[in-house]
Amino acid sequence: MRTRIAIIGFLIHCLSSLSIQAQETEKESIGTQEVLVVKSYTPSLSDAFKINSSPMSPDSLSSKDKVLEFKIKSIPVVSTFVPNKASPLKLQQRTSSTPYNSLFSGGFGVKSQLFLDVSSVIELDRTQRFGIKIYRDGFGGNLPNSLLKSNQQFSRFGIHHNLRSNDYNANTLLQFVSTKNNYFGLYDREWDNLLIRAIDPEIKRSKFKVRTHWNWYDFMVRGIEFQANLTSDNFNTSEQQLALKADFEIELGDGKILATTAVKGLNTVFQEAYFGRKTQEESMGVGSIGLYWQNTSADFKMKLGAGIAYSSKMEGFSSEILYYPEIDLSYQKKGLVMVPYFTAQGGVRLNSFQSLSTINPYLAPTTTLNPTFSKYNATLGVRSSLSSILNFNFGVVFDQIENFMLFERLPCDMENNDDAYRLSNAFENKYANIDLYGFKADIKIDLAKNNFIRFGTQYRHYDTSSNQILWNLPSLEMNWEGQFKWKDYLTFTFQGSLLGDRTAAYRPIFLTQASENVPYQEENLPLFINTTSHIAYKLSDQFDVFVKLKLNSEGVHGRWAYYNEPSFLLLAGVTYKFDFQY
């Protein structure tokens, strides 16, 4: 009994001591705390100059690539790998994703043909490009059935500079063009051999052109173009032309207002007139202003406006101030197969000796120059896209033209002084007021990528109130072109044209005739067809070989009476593309 009382008393004493110790420990932990003091940032004055420099991105066109140099430390290892005895793969050169910036193409052909085409476009930096082009074509052999030399040559040299930015784009061109031809279109008759031997029929014409064109993207003045031409020939003819054009644009609602102003002028001096042999000088200028409103945001797209023009030389015009429309209407709704349209864009064209001799190279170095006024130049038609392959365009045309320009053959000058163009084998300009009716049709078939065929035809009926005959003017004209490519190795292209029947002025030659009063006779010229084909085969990415074939309809007339064209020309050559580094 005493033993149990002693054990219970010992347990009570132990529990009491543990409780007291726990309370003392808890009181001590409550009195212990941790304090964190945070101080605000107060920069010193020297920190104000710690400014990081702006990042600079190097220009990849002007900067050079850095060459990384590193050394590989060889570590000897023990390997039990046995390689396979299969043949290793051959490395293939990756083709450039950008085209080559330079091209050289040259060839030779029958009749002493020489073809040369050299061009290069170099990126000076990200804002400038510089280009150069040298071109020559022609044949040195004479044509059959021609008593005089009949070789032809054309050459062109030009340099081009392009300056572009986010705000504007500027193009400047300097070009020199030289052509060589001959007045060889004599009548089929007996000619004096002494006269033929004494005549040099060569025609040498040269033109120097300077043109600069500036375009702005977000400015009221959208474009300014200036051009100057200097033309001369071996008959002491000289011509100077100046042209200045400015385009303006202002946003207005869903559309915009556009305005165009242009000033053109020329001065031409011929050494002597055809009749009278006195110095002949032609000077004239044309100024025009056009104003119209354009909206292409809706299905019904429209351009409505008009223009006025004034010419310093008004011979043949019905009024001193010339008015013409500026209209372009079309309805193109999404999913619509047939798109009707109407256009009427008249204007005044300045006929210069340089532009007319480009159309007819056998123009005499003395002629009358007048501007031509087109009152309407209207077309009512429809465009259709029956599928992604077939495209068709058909339109009815109408116009009234004052001073419509055509070419008439000059009579023979019995006192020619051995001048080649005075044997009734040169042309002069004639002008007439006409009403024009007709139609035009064009069809294009897209067979595959870069493969297509296009065929177009035009038929015009000319009505004039006078009894004047419209010489050398065909009613029917056709043209065609196409391209076929096979696996990017073989390319075949072709193009051609057809001129329908036309009437030419035949001037009989007899002794003691007065040149001014020689009557003319009408002579019908047959169809004239010319076509050119070009076949190129790619040997590599840089080398191509090509063959060019040109065919013309046979006969002694050609495009102009008694100026036959070569019936067959064949030329072969090579093209090399490369990158030129400056």
Q: What is the pLDDT of residue 189?
A: 87
Domains of the chain: total = 1
| Mean pLDDT in consecutive groups of 10 residues from the start of the chain, 582 residues | 49 46 44 50 48 47 52 54 54 58 95 96 92 96 90 96 94 97 92 87 97 93 96 96 96 89 97 90 95 91 95 89 95 86 95 95 95 96 84 96 94 83 93 96 89 96 88 95 92 96 89 71 92 96 96 85 92 94 75
Q: Tell me the pairing of strands 451-464 and 476-486.
A: antiparallel
Dist CA 203 CA 71 (whole Å):
72
Task: Assess if residue 521 is contained within a domain.
Answer: yes
CB 176 within 8 A of CB 156: yes
**pLDDT given for residue 555 in this prediction:** 73
Residue 361 placed within a domain: yes
The CATH number of residue 426's host domain is: 2.40.170.20
In a domain, 311, yes or no: yes
Q: Does residue 487 belong to any structural domain of this protein?
A: yes
Phi, psi dihedral angles at 480 (to 5 degrees): -150, 155
Q: What is the pLDDT of residue 578?
A: 93
Q: How many CB atoms lie within 10 A of CB 251?
A: 9
Q: 556 in a domain, yes or no?
A: yes
Q: What is the pLDDT of residue 74?
A: 56
Residue 48 maps to a domain: no
- The C-alpha atoms of residue 278 and residue 272 are separated, in whole angstroms, by 5
Domain housing 574: 102-578
User: How many CA atoms within 13 Å lie on the side-chain side of 428?
Assistant: 14
Supply the pLDDT for residue 1. 47
Q: How far apart are CA 512 and CA 415, in angstroms?
A: 10
Q: Which of 531, 566, 528, 529 has the alpha carbon at shortest distance from 548?
A: 531
d(Cα 454, Cα 471) in Å, to the nearest integer?
A: 29
User: Is residue 75, in this structure, part of any structural domain at all?
Assistant: no
Residue 72 domain-assigned? no
Give me the pLDDT at residue 21, please. 44
Closest-CA residue to 545 (of 529, 532, 534, 533) = 534
